[in-house]
């Protein structure tokens, strides 16, 4: 380590981004979290739980992120198909 050793080293201060650059509302952030959880459960977990997480994600993302909501609905249909619930696929 080089430089001024008389001052202790500290981590750089992390600031939150400006209001226009934030990741969206709390509902959108939670929707993305549920989408990620549901997709992970779809490939390695209980498909019933995956479907529930994906449907929740679709409802949370519908207003502000319709493309991601559509992805969540398609993944939920895939989870229903994997569970053998053909009526829920429609």
Convert the pLDDT of each residue in 68-79 to its tens digit: 999 999 999 999
pTM: 0.72
Two tokens, residue 6? 């008389």
Domain ranges within the chain, ordered by starting residue: 24-89
- At residue 8, the pLDDT reads 55
Two tokens, residue 44? 């390695």
| pLDDT band at residue 84 using 50, 70 and 90 as cut-offs | very high
d(CA 16, CA 5): 29
Distances (CA, A) of 85 to 41, 47, 78, 80: 17, 11, 10, 5
- At residue 20, the pLDDT reads 47
According to DSSP, residue 20 is labeled: G
- Alpha-carbon dihedral sign for residues 30, 84, 77, 75: positive
- At residue 89, the pLDDT reads 81
């Amino acid at each position: 380590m080089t430089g001024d050793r008389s001052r202790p080293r500290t981590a750089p201060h992390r600031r939150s981004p400006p209001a226009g650059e934030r990741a969206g509302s709390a509902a959108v952030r939670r929707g993305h979290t549920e989408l990620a959880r549901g997709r992970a459960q779809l490939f390695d977990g209980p498909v019933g739980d995956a479907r529930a997480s994906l449907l929740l994600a679709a409802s949370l993302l519908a207003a502000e992120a319709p493309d991601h909501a559509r992805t969540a609905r398609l993944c939920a249909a895939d989870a229903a198909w994997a569970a053998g619930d053909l009526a829920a696929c429609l």
